[in-house]
Every structure is written in structure tokens, then in C-alpha cells.
């Protein structure tokens, strides 16, 4: 039996990463931060498990107000993100080969969008978001200033990637 899920589809991952990069207001973003946002764009239901900072109460209400759907709950979100890693890395290399992100920065663990234009047809598709995707992208903007590393950083608040040995 074949089972398809967009989390393990390279082309879907390329599309999701482009959606995040197009809506993100930062010029540079860490690879792990982008991987976390890609995870939440794929599994928006998991965003209600994030530990929100006090200044993002409004966003917290958006995600916590939805009744949990037991059919969408993941047994081990950390493990799913780990399984998605190879697809996400391949997607980033694909974007670098198309010169949509800077290859040298990618090698240093930073994603930087280049000036390479995206065709209008794809831009239109990138802008077509459902409500859940729009909410996740609001989350990306809301957590924009939050550090990735350390206690109370994005890694710790999501619990998806270990932060114990992060640089201080």
C-alpha cells in the first residue's frame, strides 16, 4: 500500500519553503528555524502545542481555540521532524541550485533569499493560502524576533529540536 503525505514530498517541501521565505520579513534565517516553520506549515494542528511568549497572546488564542482533532495529532512530532530533515535539506539544495537562495550562506547554515525572481505563475500559487497556513505564517512573523537558541528560544518553546548543547 502506498501512502502519500506532503511532509515527505520533495517538491511540496520546496513549495512550502518558498511560501515561508516569501512571507518572512527577515533577510536571513537559520536552517533550523526554517525547518521548524516548515513543520508547522505541514502540520498546523501541532502549533497549539507551542509554548507562546506573553506578548503573543492573540496568536495563542487563534491556535488554542480550535478543538484538538485526534486524527491530526502526531504521536512523536520530534521524530517526524527528524524524518523530514532529508527532504528539507534536499529542498534547500534544490533552491540553491536554482539560485533562489545563496549557496555560500546555506553552507554556513543560513538561508538568504537572492534577487532571482520567481515566475509569476508560481508567485500566484505561493500567495494562495488556506486559513491554517495563514495562521502559521502569522506565527512565523510573530516569532520573528524570538531567538532560536537557548532557554525560551524557539527550539525550547516548540520542543522539536534539542537545545541543550546550543551555543550561548
Residue 139 exposure: Cα atoms within 13 Å on the Cβ side: 31
Beta strands in 6-147 (DSSP E): 28-30, 110-112
Question: Stretch 65-79: mean pLDDT, rounded?
Answer: 81
Please list the residues that pair with 101 across neighbouring strands: 113
- Answer whether residue 26 shows pLDDT above 90: no
User: The whole model's pTM is what?
Assistant: 0.90
Helix axis angle, 31-42 to 10-23, nearest 10°: 110
Give 103's pLDDT tier (boundaries 50, 70, 90): very high
For residue 24, what is the DSSP state?
-
- Provide mean pLDDT across the span 154-165: 87
Q: What is the mean pLDDT of residues 123-146?
A: 88
Q: What is the mean pLDDT of residues 123-136?
A: 89
* Average confidence (pLDDT) over 93-121: 95
Q: Which residues pair with 111 in a beta bridge?
A: 29
Mean pLDDT value across residues 138-167? 85
Query: Which has more confidence, 87 or 153?
Result: 87
pLDDT score, position 43: 92
What integer pLDDT is reported at residue 143 of this predicted model? 85
Average pLDDT, the chain: 89
Task: Select from 95, 105, 88 the least CA-distant residue to 37.
Answer: 88
**Domain boundaries of the chain, sorted by first residue:** 10-158
Per-residue pLDDT for 116 more than 80? yes
pLDDT band at 168 (very low <50, low <70, confident <90, very high): low
**Pair 59, 52: CB distance under 8 Å:** yes
What is the pLDDT, as a whole number, of residue 69? 74
Q: Is the pLDDT of residue 70 over 80?
A: no
Supply the pLDDT for residue 27.
Answer: 85
100: nearest Cα among 113, 91, 89: 113
Amino acid at each position: 500500500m502506498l501512502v502519500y503525505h506532503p511532509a515527505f514530498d520533495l517538491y511540496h517541501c520546496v513549495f512550502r519553503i518558498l511560501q515561508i521565505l516569501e512571507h518572512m520579513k527577515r533577510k536571513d534565517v537559520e536552517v533550523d528555524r526554517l525547518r521548524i516553520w516548515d513543520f508547522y506549515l505541514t502540520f498546523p494542528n501541532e502549533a497549539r502545542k507551542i509554548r507562546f511568549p506573553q506578548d503573543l497572546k492573540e496568536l495563542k488564542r487563534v491556535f488554542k481555540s480550535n478543538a484538538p482533532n485526534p486524527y491530526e495529532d502526531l504521536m512523536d512530532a520530534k521524530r517526524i521532524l527528524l524524518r523530514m530533515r532529508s527532504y528539507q535539506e534536499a529542498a534547500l539544495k534544490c533552491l540553491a541550485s536554482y539560485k533562489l537562495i545563496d549557496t555560500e550562506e546555506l553552507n554556513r547554515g543560513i538561508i538568504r533569499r537572492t534577487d532571482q525572481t520567481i515566475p509569476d505563475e508560481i508567485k500566484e500559487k505561493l500567495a494562495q493560502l488556506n486559513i491554517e497556513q495563514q495562521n502559521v505564517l502569522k506565527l512565523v512573523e510573530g516569532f520573528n524576533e524570538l531567538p532560536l537558541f537557548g532557554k525560551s528560544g524557539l527550539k525550547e518553546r516548540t520542543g522539536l529540536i534539542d537545545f541543550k548543547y546550543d551555543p550561548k
